[in-house]
Amino acid sequence: KQYGVNKQLERDVASRDAELETFRQADRERQAAAVGNIPPMPDSFDDDFDVKLKAHIDASNAQAVYTSQNNHYLQEQHNAQLQQQQAAQVEVTNLNSSFANNAKTAGATDKEYNDVIVTLNNGGITMQAASEIMRLGEDGYYIAKYLAGNAVASDEFNRLSPVQQGMQMSDLKQKASALKPKTSNAPAPTAELNGKGADKDAGKYQHIKGVKYE
C-alpha cells in the first residue's frame, strides 16, 4: 500500500511538471509568434517614418531578447538532461553493485547470479520492476531467484502494472524466503569440563568410609 501511495505521489509530481512545461512551451511559442515578423525598415520619405522606425526597432529588440532567452532555456534543458542521464547511470551502477554484493552475501556463485539475471531479462522483466527488486537488499536477490526459477510466477508478475507489482512484493518476499538457508534453533552443546589435576574418582566412594575388608 505504501509503495502504491509513493508511486501515486511520483505520478502527481510528474503530471504537474508536465503541465508546467506545457505552459512554458505555449508561452515560448506565443513569444516566438509575436516577434517572428519584424516590420521592414521604413523609407525615410514616409510621412509616418518615426512611427514605423520605432516599430521596427522595438520588434528587432524583442526578437533579440527572445532569442537570447530561448537559447538560455535550451542550454538549461540540455544541461538538465545530461544531469538526469548521469544520475540515472550512477544509480544503475550502484544498484548493480549492491545487488551483486547481496547475491554473494546470500551465498550465490557467479554463475548462479548471472543465470538469475539472464533468465529474468529473457523473461521480459521491466527496468522499473528490476530496480524495485534490486532495492530490497538481500531479500531482493531471493525474490529474483524465486522468479527466475518459476516461469509461471515470473510471467504473471511481468503482466502486472507497476502499482500491482509493488503490491505483490510482500507476497513474493514471503514465498522467496523459502530459498533462504535454514538456521537451527537447537541450543549449543554444553561444554565438557576436563580440568587437569582434578581427581576423577573424587566423590564416588563417599559412603564406604570405614568399611573393613576381611
| Cα Rg, the chain, nearest whole Å | 37
CB 176 within 8 A of CB 138: no
Residue from 39, 38, 36, 35 nearest 52 by CA: 39
Q: What is the pTM of this model?
A: 0.55
Q: Each residue's pLDDT tens digit in the chain (214 positions)?
A: 444 445 556 666 677 777 777 777 777 777 776 676 788 888 888 888 999 899 888 888 888 888 888 788 878 888 888 888 888 788 888 888 999 999 998 889 999 999 999 999 999 998 889 988 998 888 999 999 999 999 999 999 999 998 888 888 989 999 999 988 876 555 555 545 454 555 555 555 455 455 454 4
CB 158 within 8 A of CB 124: yes
Give the count of alpha carbons within 13 A of 79, CB side only: 6
Phi-psi label, residue 195: left if phi above 0, alpha if psi -120 to 50, beta otherwise? beta
